[in-house]
Every structure is written in C-alpha cells, then in structure tokens.
Structure 1
C-alpha cells in the first residue's frame, strides 16, 4: 500500500516507538506519585514538555497536554468563552475550519455565544479586512486555522493577529496549527497567537496526544477538573508514553527540518506533474499550498468510487471531510471556496517525508490508470 493520506495520520516512526516502549513496560509510574517510579515518569514528561516548547517557540509552562487536536480546540474555545461570557459573547471564525472548531462553536452557540462565520476567497484564504470588519466590542475570540486540512491553504495568521490587536488587544486569537506542525518551524514565533493547537500524529508521533498552547495570563477556564495535573488546567493522569512519543517526534522533525520540507515540496510537485501528464486534472489546492497537501478533481469521476478503486489497487487517499459512519460527507471546504461542481470529485493526496520518488511515481501511475478505467 502506498499511503497518501498523511493529513489524516502518519506512520509512527521507529524512533518514536522505541522512545515510548519503556513507558509501556517497565517505567509505568504515575507522574503524580512521589516515589522513584513516579519521579521517573515526571522527569520524562517534563523533558518532553521542554523540547516541544522549544520547537514551538514558547515557554514550557504555556503548554497543556491533551488527548489530541480536537480536545485542544474545544478546550481553547470553550475555556476562553466561559471566562468572559458575561461581557464578551461574540466569536469569529471562518467557513473552512476543522469540524473540531465548527462543532465546538455550534455547542457554544447553544449556551449563548454569538458566532460570525467569515467567507473565504477561491483559494480558501480569509481576508484580513473581513476579520477586522467583523470585530465587535464584545468579541471574545477569533479562531482561524493556520493550514487547511483539506486543501492546504496557508492562512495569513501573522497579519490577522496584528490587525486584531491594533483594534482591540483584549480579543484572543486562536489557531488550529495541527497541519502546520510538519512544515513550519517555530510556529509560535512566526504566528504570535494567544492560543494554538497541535497534535503528535501528524508528525509520525502517536495518536491520542496533543498540545494546547495558552499564552500566560490570558482569560481562560479549564474544561476538565478532578486533579492538579497540567498546573490545574487539565485534570487527569498524563499519557506518559504518548507525551514521550510526542517529544521524540519533535526531536525527529527538528533534524534537517529544511531538508524534510524541501523533500515534501519535491514530492508534491512530482506527483502533480505526473498525474497532469496523463489525466485531465483540476487543481483545487492553491499554488502556494502547504507541501503536505494536494487537493485535485478528476472531472467525470466520482471521488467515492475512485477512492474505493484506489484502495483495491494499493493507494490510500481521501476525499473532502473524514468519513462519518462509513460514508463520505460533502466537503464544507470545497463548497466554501465555490468549487461546488467538483464537490463529488475532489480527492486529497497528502504526503510524508518518508515517501520516495518511486512511491510517488507508482502511485501517480495507479491513479491515472484507475481514472482512465472509470471514465466513459
């Protein structure tokens, strides 16, 4: 199987697995325990926290470990809203956000929040002027993702932060940076947001472990109670093996990071060039999309049928949103960028730095042969 669905998840690397194994076997202590076994676990958690924070560009004290990106998004938005909902009930987001954000905002609306959903341009990009125009005196949070998970659009986060803070410094800015982590070094240095979300399994780390970054002293309330963990910001015993795995994954991507990104750019272009030489292809991803993600449509070929055929032929890819209850749902992102004629044709291929040129060329050949077989 040639795996081209790395925006959904990546293979756990050998170095990550090796780092995690001791904490699944002999070093199984609870990091809140004061005995030696517990202290070993605490030291491992603290070490990973420092290394992850250094790569992200923040203080280790500003990191909260979560169960993944979805919990981190929900915690960021819910906590910020609950902290000031008596005076600031308004939240701004975009039409192309991950459902972890959009569905959380649906919930917050049910308890009194007012949500403005901004449109995007044909590339899926939020206009900075639209964000500024939507600001109100009671705006609490603006949440705009850094890299779109379906089409790879890189949003102007730095410009958005600067524009918001110039109008009202009290408005918090949150960004889902899950898809940025594989391709952007020190993201919190480049994008000085108040809250940000990250996940290990997009960089060859384990599933079930994420990070919520909270800038020091911002108004925010925890969601999970019942323990003193994470400086009283998230109750519950830490996922020690997962945290260690996240740290190991960050260690791995920091090694020759620029070379890894360059390799991803090469793979992205190689695949696109190969399929366009044989097939009629409509590019949906913008030209400057993140190198990990390429969304295209093959006119006249349904994406659900194509994906099933590709799976049988040995290529894994995806279409639109992730599967829900076993059936593909129309993509709200493709709809938001005005590509409704390709709503049932859009396919996302997403790349990892462990792929080779041979993998890419073989996958492109399989894709084009399958497309040709499906066309009338």
Structure 2
C-alpha cells in the first residue's frame, strides 16, 4: 500500500492551488501577447495585469502604483537594498540588519560591504528576536536603511516591525525600513502603511502561487535606483517583459488566500499546535527551538542523538517531507540561524523544521507524528547501541 504523502516543507515552497495552475495555463495558451504591444491582444493582457496589481494593493491597503512585479523574494530584496543604497551612498552608506537574515539579504550586504558600505548586524536572543534598544543604539547619522525580515524562515520568530517602523518615523533624519515579508505575507494579517514600512518583498510560491513571481511594495514617496534597466516596464523600476502567466497565477493565489485570511491563519496555527503537542507527548528528548509566540506555520525541533539530515531521508521514505532549515542554504553546513540563537552543535545537527499550510489536515498531522516517532526510535536504537 502506497504511503500517504505528507508535505510539511511549506516554508521552502507550497503546492500551487489548482485554480492557480488553471490561470497560468490560460495565460500561456490564450493571453500570450506582450502586454506592451499596441494591438487588442496585448492591451487585454495589460488590462488584466493592471487589475491584478490593483487587487494586490487592496490586500495591503496600498495604492496600485506602490506594487511592482518581480521574479520573487531574492530579486525583490536585491533590488530594494541595492536600489536604496546606490541612491544614497554618497551621503549615507550605513545599513542595519540582523545576523539571521535570508541568504539573499546577507550575501547582498556582504557584497555592499566589499563596495565600501558599513553594515551593522544585530544579534538575536535564544528565541531568534532582536533587542529594539540595540537597534536604536546602532543608528548613526550615516544610516540610510534598516533591512529586517518580518518572520524568520527557520524558526518562525517574529521581529517587532511595527515598533521599529514607529521609532524610525520619529527620527528627524530619514532612515528607510525594508521588510523581507516572504514568510509573513499571508501568515500575518498586516498593512505596511500601519507599520511605517517603506519597502517590502513578497514571493508568490510561499502561498500556493507559481515560482518565479513576486512583488515589491514601494511607498509612493520613496525612490530607488533600478537594478534592471531596459524597456521601462513597471514604471521604470523593473525592466523586462512582464511574466504574465506568473502574474495571473500570483493574482489568483492572492485572491484565494485573502478569502477569509484570518480563518486560514487560525487553521494553520491550530495544526501547528497539534503537531507540537503530539510530538511533545509521544517523543522524548526533544528541544523546541521555535518561540511560543512564533508565526503560525513554522515549528523547529531538535531531536537528541539524531542527525536531522538522516531523519529527513528516513521520513522521506515514508512519504513525509520536512526540512533541516532554509532550502536556499540547506546544502551548506550548519544553520546560521540556530548558531546565532546559541544552540549547541548537537542541537543544530538534530534540528528539523516542520512548516505547514492551509492545505494540511489534522489526519496528516497525526499520521506524521506516528511516522516520526517510529523513525526517531528506530534511529536512536541504532545510535545508542553503538
């Protein structure tokens, strides 16, 4: 009998909704014209993209002209960070970030450091959270940008973005706030204007949209130096022919996810709590690394005497899919996030990230714990015997 597929790696990517796939196929087979073309078919695609942009803006309480389509989180992070710094670096070249950012931010900052920028990396506590007072102390006359992820992709810790935005707004000299919202959009119901966010990055495949599509929120009063120049698409901020199939799919995913978003968040949170309770009840010698007040969909747990990568492959054989950390850095040794949270080497090696979506069910969670218990006990018998 074939194993039930239990997909618990939704922070890496999500399964697209069937309606999203239909929209992508429709765009590829019917609305294939270039949106910049002057003929009827091109104008129709342009009109549909404009309507999708407007729908996205509504979900954020933003204006249509504040939404710019990109290829996803990495491009959005690069475009915003580099775009802000390149515009201001002659006068202000200091950036503040954290030590647990996504590689698309950390590696961009390293590159900018090589070009003469100064970067302050804020430490985090054992729950993966920054100290707001440390951020305040780090600000200098030369600070142009604070770039901080809203939700950490490995442990689910939530940074105090609203408080950061409020403080930066109170400063006499403007310091921009960029938020990597890749793991928080659709998991936390918020609006960037209420958080005083200047720039924000979002990726479609994290909430059942297609891969290769995302968007940036850029507050209308802000400017950046474009990273891609060319035909003037996206109001000159991001050149290149629009990815109409991706945008169609993204629009459909956003439409579905925002249909009673709070209920979806509650469902995912309930499933995460069930998973945590059942693992805690049925499996000994574990350490929960995710904070109690973490995001609804991420649960990171270390299993004593177990290597996470070995357990991952054992679970895979039973049709259960999890992660040892960020998919973008999973082939590298050790988690920089768990290291910064001061976990021991053994705890880091034994860590597994479970990440859920609204497509998961209670039946899957209970079956997942049953499989996990069997595999952990089996591995421990072998390891503890040797």
Please say whether Structure 1 and Structure 2 have the same fold, judged by a TM-score greater than 0.5.
yes
Alignment of 1:249-268 (within 5 A): 249-268=253-272
1:159 corresponding residue in structure 2: 163
Measure how far apart 1:143 and its partner are: 0.6
Of residues 2, 8, 13, the one that matches 1:9 is 13
Task: Note the alpha carbon deviations across 1:213-244, whole angstroms, 9 max, x for none.
Answer: 11123241000001110001111000001111
1:320 corresponding residue in structure 2: 325
Paired residue secondary structure (1:12) = coil
Measure how far apart 1:168 and its partner are: 4.0
Paired residue secondary structure (2:349) = coil
Cα RMSD, aligned residues only:
1.2
The answer as to 2:93 corresponding to 1:83 is no
Query: What is the count of residue pairs matched by the alignment?
Result: 375
1:56 corresponding residue in structure 2: 60
2:219 corresponding residue in structure 1: 215
Measure how far apart 1:20 and its partner are: 2.0
Of residues 18, 23, 30, the one that matches 2:27 is 23
Structure 1: distance between partners of 2:145 and 2:295? 25
Paired residue secondary structure (1:175) = strand
Paired residue secondary structure (1:212) = strand
Structure 2: distance between partners of 1:304 and 1:316? 12
1:348 corresponding residue in structure 2: 353
Structure 2: distance between partners of 1:82 and 1:353? 40
- Which shows bigger deviation, 101-110 or 12-21? 12-21
Of residues 172, 176, 182, the one that matches 1:172 is 176
Structure 2: distance between partners of 1:273 and 1:186? 28
The answer as to 2:319 corresponding to 1:283 is no
Output the TM-score relative to the length of structure 1. Answer: 0.97
Alignment of 1:1-376 (within 5 A): 1-280=5-284, 281-322=286-327, 324=329, 327-341=331-345, 342-375=347-380, 376=384
Measure how far apart 1:323 and its partner are: 5.7
Measure how far apart 1:258 and its partner are: 1.4
**Which runs of 5 or more structure 1 residues have no equivalent in the other structure?**
none
**Which runs of 5 or more structure 2 residues have no equivalent in the other structure?**
none
Structure 1: distance between partners of 2:351 and 2:183? 19
Measure how far apart 1:18 and its partner are: 1.7
Structure 1: distance between partners of 2:77 and 2:122? 18
Structure 1: distance between partners of 2:359 and 2:196? 30
Output the TM-score relative to the length of structure 2. Answer: 0.95
Measure how far apart 1:181 and its partner are: 1.1
